[in-house]
Chain A
Amino acid sequence: MRVGLFVTCVNDTLFPRTGRSVVALLERLGVQVDFPLEQTCCGQPLYNTGYRHRAESLVLGLARAFRDHDVIVTPSGSCAAMVRDNYPRIAARAATEQRATGRAEALAEAAAAVVPKTYELTEFLVDVLGVTDVGACFPHTVTYHPTCHGLRVLGLGDRPRRLLEAVEGLELRELPGAEECCGFGGTFAVKNPAVSAAMGTDKARAVTGSAAQVLCTADNSCLMHIGGILARQGSPVRPVHIAEILASTDGKLL
C-alpha cells in the first residue's frame, strides 16, 4: 500500500507541525508515508467562492500528484470532503458544458481516480489501519469540535472521539453545541465578517466554558478561526490539531 500525504495548502504554509505530526504518527504505526511535492491545493477556496472553472486544473493536478499512490491521507475533513463530494460534481458539470474537448473526460477520470482512495486522517486510522489506540500520551484536558464538513459531508461520526478517548492521560471535556458551525466557512469569514465573528465568539465562549486546556479539531482552518478569536480574547486555551495530539507520546507537541 503506497500512502501519500496530502498535507493541504493551509497546513503546508501555516501549520507545518500538523503535517510533521501526521508523518510521525503514521511512521510510528508502521506506515511508510510519501509526500509528492507536485501537490498544492484541492481547489476548495476557489470552488466554494464560485470559481469552479478555475478549480478544474487543481482537480487534475491532485490526481496527477497522487497517480502512483494507493491511498491519499489528508489531515483535513474539509479538503477530504472537497475531493469526495465536489470532484465528481465538477466533472459532471463540465460534461454539460461545451468546452475544450477531452476536458470533461479528464476531470471525470481524475475524480474517479482520487475519490475512492482519499481518506481523512481519522478515517484512515480507524477504517483502514483498524486502530483507535495509537499509543499516544497527552495528559491534558481537551474539548473536541467536530468541524462541519467532517461531521456532515464525510460522516466521521465518533471516530475522532474514539481516537482521543484512547489517548493516555487525555481527559475529554464536553463541548456544548459542538455540532454548530464555528463560522469560518472559508471566504465566508471575510465576506460576512460580522456573522462569522458572532458565530466564532459563541463557539469560543462554549470552548472556554468547557474548561479544557486544549481545543482540538480535525481541521486547521476552523481551528485558526476559533483560535484567532480565543487569542484576541486573551484566552489560555490552546488550539491543537488532532494529528498533533495523536502524534504525541510524552504530552508535548512536536
Chain B
Amino acid sequence: MSRTYLGMPAFPEAAAVSTGDATLRANLRRATHTIRAKRAAAVAELDDWDQLRAAGAAVKDRTLRHLDRYLLQLEENVTRAGGTVHWAADADEANRIVTDLVRATGETEVVKVKSMATQETGLNAALEQAGIRPYETDLAELIVQLGDDLPSHILVPAIHRSRGEIRDIFRTRMADWGRPAPSGLTDRPSDLAEAARLHLREKFLRAKVAVSGANFMVAETGTLVVVESEGNGRMCLTLPETLISVVGIEKTVPTWQDLEIYLQLLPRSATAERMNPYTSMWTGTTDDDGPRSFHLVLLDNGRTDALADRTGRQVLRCIRCSACLNVCPVYERAGGHAYGSPYPGPIGAVLTPQLRGLASPLEESLPFASSLCGACYDVCPVAIDIPEILVHLRERVVQGGEVTTRGIRTVVKPAKKHLAERAMMHAAGWTLDHPRALRRAQRLAARTRRLHPRRLPGPGRAWSDTRELPPLPTEPFRDWWARTRGGTA
C-alpha cells in the first residue's frame, strides 16, 4: 500500500530526529551542493536572466488575476482538439474521476509519469484501494515506490537515498513488482539506470492507460507541456491508448509565446541544463499518433484558497523547479520528509499551509521552518518572495485573521500553542515602546549578572543546550553614553 502523509508530526519534532541522521545529512549535502554550483553556472550563461525572471513572474500574475477567463479558454481549446476536461474541487474528487476513467477502460494497471498533483491527492493509494495497480516510471519515483518510502524532493524524490541504498532497494524489491534486478547489480548510477530501463520497459509496452501531470497548459491553444529527462514521460504520453493528466489550475499560461520564458527558466533552475533532454507538447489527440483518448483533470484542492490571499497568492507562480530546495540550509539539514507533504523545502513551507489550511500542528509549524536567510528568493525563477509569505503566514498562526478555506472566508483564532509566546511578545513590545522601562530592565539584568545561570531553564534551554550565552556587560550602551556624553534618559 502506498504511504501517505497523514498524521505527520510538527516540523521541529521531525527535524530533531532527521538532523541526527548522519547518512541522510551526507546524502543531502552531497546532492544539493553539487546542483547549487551547476545551477549558478547555467544561469550565469544568460545575460537576460533578470528580465526573464521578471517576465516569468508577470505572466503568472496576469494569468492568476484573470484565472477564470483563462481556465474557460483552456477548456474550450482542449475540448475542440479532442480532449475531455474534468474539474476536481479537491483531492478526493480528482482521485474519484481518475479511478472511474481507468475503470471505464477495463484495465487494472496504469503507468504513471512523475506528477506532483497526484502525489498531493494521494492518487496511488486511491487506485490501489480500487484494485488498480499504479506503476511509477520516473527513476526516483520508482525508487520511492519500491522502497515503500515517501518522496523528499520535488524534482528528485529519492534524493535522500545514496546509490548504495538504491542498489539494495532494487535488489530486494524489483522482483515483487515485475522483472527482477539483474544479478550482480552494482551501485554505479549507469547500472542502476539500466536496471530501471529493463524493469520498466515491459510495463511501457503493455500499458493501456497512463496518468501524468503537466508543467504548463497553454490557454490559447489547449496545449499541454511535460518537461522531463528520462523518456518515461514520452513513453507514458505516447504509447498508451488513454492518457489522463491531472494538473493544478495554476499551471495555466495565456499564450503559446509565453512558453519561451518558462522553457528558458525551468531547465536551468531545475537540473542546471540549457535544456532538459525531452519536452513533450500535445494538443488534444492526434489521429494515429499517441493516445486515442485524452482526459484533463483540472485540480483546485486549495489553490483558490491561496489565490484569495493577496500576499500568499504569489505562491501559485511556482513552476516546481526545486531551486529553492537545493539552496536551502534548513532543507539540507532537516530533509524533505520533515515537511510532511510532497512539497518540501521553502516552497513547501509556504505552499502546504495554504493548500491545506492551518489544519494541524504540522501546517502551523511550517511557516517557522526557516531562518529567513533569503537564499530561496534569490534563486526563484519566478521571484516568489518566500520570506515575505513565511512571515505573513506566521502572523496568521500567532495572531489569527481572515483566511479562505475550501472557498469559504473565515476568521481563524491564534494557535493555542502560541498563547504564552503572545503574552511574552506583547510584554516585550510594551517594554520596547517605553525606553525608560527598557533601561530599568537592562540595569536590573546588569546588576544581577553574576546570578545568571550558564544554562537556561524552560524555553531558553533551546538556546543554551548547544550554545554558550554571551556574558552580560556591566553597563548597557545607553548608560555608557549617558555617563560619558552627558545625555539623559
Contact = CB atoms under 8 A, between A and B. Distances in A.
The answer to whether A and B touch directly, with their CB atoms under 8 angstroms apart, is yes
B372 A200 contact: no
Q: A46, A190, A198 — which one has the most chain B CB atoms within 10 A of its CB?
A: A198
A49 B19 CA distance: 23
Given A12-B476, A49-B398, A198 B435 contact: no
A202 B467 CA distance: 13
B465 A37 contact: no
Nearest to B16: A194
Interface stretch (B252-260, B261-269, B480-488): B480-488
B463 A190 contact: yes
Contact of B372 (A48, A54, A202, A232): A48
Nearest to B463: A190
Given A51-B398, A194-B15, A199-B371, A37 B467 contact: no
Interface string A171-211: 00000000111011111111111111111111000000000
A39 interface: yes
A184 B472 CA distance: 19
Interface in A198-254: 198-202, 224-225, 227-229, 231-232
A54 B429 contact: yes
Contacts of A202: 333
Interface of A: 7, 9, 11-17, 19-20, 23, 35, 37-41, 43, 45-55, 57-58, 61, 89, 93, 96, 148-149, 152-153, 179-181, 183-202, 224-225, 227-229, 231-232
B225 interface: no
Given A50-B391, A50-B397, A57-B433, A148 B465 contact: no
B489 interface: yes
A110 to B, nearest CB: 14
Contacts of A23: 481
Contacts, number: 196
A197 B468 CA distance: 12
A30 B426 CA distance: 41
B371 A20 contact: no
A46 to B, nearest CB: 6
A89 B432 CA distance: 21
A52 B489 CA distance: 27
Interface stretch (B87-95, B106-114, B373-381): B373-381
Interface in B433-485: 433-435, 438, 442, 445, 459-460, 462-463, 465-470, 472-473, 475-478, 480-482, 485
B470 A227 contact: yes
B interface SS class: helix
A232 B372 CA distance: 25
B76 to A, nearest CB: 35
A51 B370 CA distance: 16
A225 B311 CA distance: 31
Contacts of A16: 473, 475-477, 480
Contacts of A179: 375
A41 B432 contact: yes
A20 B480 contact: yes
Given A40-B432, A193-B16, A195-B330, 11 more contacts: A9-B432, A14-B473, A37-B478, A37-B482, A41-B432, A48-B394, A179-B375, A183-B329, A185-B372, A227-B468, A228-B466
Contacts of A93: 311
Contact of A55 (B429, B435, B438): B429
A40 B476 CA distance: 12
Contacts of A232: 466-468
A72 B475 CA distance: 23
Contact of B371 (A37, A40, A183): A183
B369 interface: yes
B373 A61 contact: no
Contacts of B462: 189-191, 193
Contacts of B25: 198
Contacts of A55: 429
B16 A152 contact: no
Contacts of B398: 49-51
B16 to A, nearest CB: 4
Contacts of A188: 368, 370-372
Contacts of A38: 435
The 5 closest A-B pairs by CB, nearest first: A185-B371, A228-B467, A50-B394, A181-B373, A16-B477
B11 interface: yes
Nearest to A61: B433
27 contacts: A7-B477, A9-B432, A9-B438, A14-B472, A16-B475, A20-B480, A43-B432, A48-B391, A50-B398, A51-B399, A51-B426, A54-B425, A58-B432, A148-B371, A148-B372, A148-B374, A148-B375, A149-B374, A152-B373, A181-B375, A184-B371, A191-B12, A193-B12, A195-B330, A195-B369, A198-B25, A201-B466
Contacts of A46: 425, 428-429
B395 A52 contact: yes
B8 to A, nearest CB: 16
Q: A9, A50, A53, A55 — which one has the most chain B CB atoms within 10 A of its CB?
A: A50
B467 A50 contact: no
Contacts of B325: none
